Amino acid sequence: MGRATLLSVVIPVFNERATVLEVLARALAVEIPIEREIVIVDDGSTDGTSELLDDSEHPSLSDPRVRVLHHLENRGKGAAVRTGIADARGDAILIQDADLEYDPEDWARLLRPLLSGRAVAVYGSRFTGERRNMLPSHWVGNRILSLTTNILYRSTVSDMETCYKLLHRSVLDGVPLVSNGFEIEAELTAKILRQGIRIYEVPISYAGRELWEGKKITWRDGFTAVLTLLRYASWRKRGTT
């Protein structure tokens, strides 16, 4: 594994007209000790986000470090993440949501263990840093999913569902991703742990949204995540890739 020299930030977007340009501006402005590129994947937005992202005269969107890709129809967060990863050119890849729950100011903290060679998979934990508390149902759901992960994969992650997953390209090479929805978080985690890779966690800030503010994930996605974790755990026991 060589030292990472380019960070690819993949931003999946669905109906985030009110926040996506602010997130992009922060992503371009934050100081990090590595070059960056931003890959925005619009997942068939219907609220005007697609048209907003096509404005090539906007200062942020005209930045040469930014590329915008479009899905013609909504396919899900996982599909958008997979499209972004496939297009990414960097040797380090970070997932960034298009709302304002996660702050790019935390990127430097995430990058530190990867750039120093201490880790190839770094997660930002919302449960160990400064945060605006999430909804009770989401708090319970996240804790259950992390506990399930730890039981099935003999790990000790505190926040499996975090958006902030920073991965060296070597972690993703040869690992096919198939999820279309929010279960991409569980699939990524399972396939990282199946390789015998220990996940390095760092504390991050978090400003959780309310449902009326556009929060999209629901309790149904939690059940899908559990099924995904069980699926890949059983494969692991059989030694199947």
Name the burial class of residue 143, with classes exposed (0-12), middle (13-18) and buried (19+) by CB atoms within 10 angstroms of its CB.
Answer: middle
Long-range contacts of 129-134 (CB under 8 A, 24+ apart): 129/203, 129/204, 129/205, 129/206, 130/203, 130/205, 130/206, 131/205, 131/206, 131/207, 131/208, 132/206, 132/207, 132/208, 133/208, 134/206, 134/208
Question: What is the pLDDT at residue 3?
Answer: 80
**Residue 241 in tokens:** 């890739």
User: Domain 6-238 adopts which CATH fold?
Assistant: Spore Coat Polysaccharide Biosynthesis Protein SpsA; Chain A (3.90.550)
- The candidate with the shortest Cα–Cα distance to 85, out of 17, 19, 175, 151, is 175
Dist. CA 64–CA 52, nearest whole Å: 17
The total of other beta-carbon atoms located within 10 Å of residue 31's CB is: 8
Question: What is the pLDDT at residue 85?
Answer: 98
User: For each successive 10 residues of the chain (241 residues), what is the average pLDDT?
Assistant: 88 96 98 98 97 94 98 97 98 96 96 97 84 55 81 92 96 92 94 94 82 51 82 60 44
Question: What is the pLDDT at residue 174?
Answer: 77
Q: Would you kindly state where each structural domain of the chain is located, as residue ranges? A: 6-238
Q: Which residues contact 76 (CB under 8 A, 6 or more apart)?
A: 43, 179, 180, 181, 182
Question: What is the pLDDT at residue 235?
Answer: 52
Residue 151 has, within 13 A of its CA and on its CB side, a CA count of: 9
Dist. CA 196–CA 148, nearest whole Å: 17
The helix-helix angle for 136-153 and 219-238 (nearest 10°) equals 0
**Location of structure tokens 């390789």:** 195
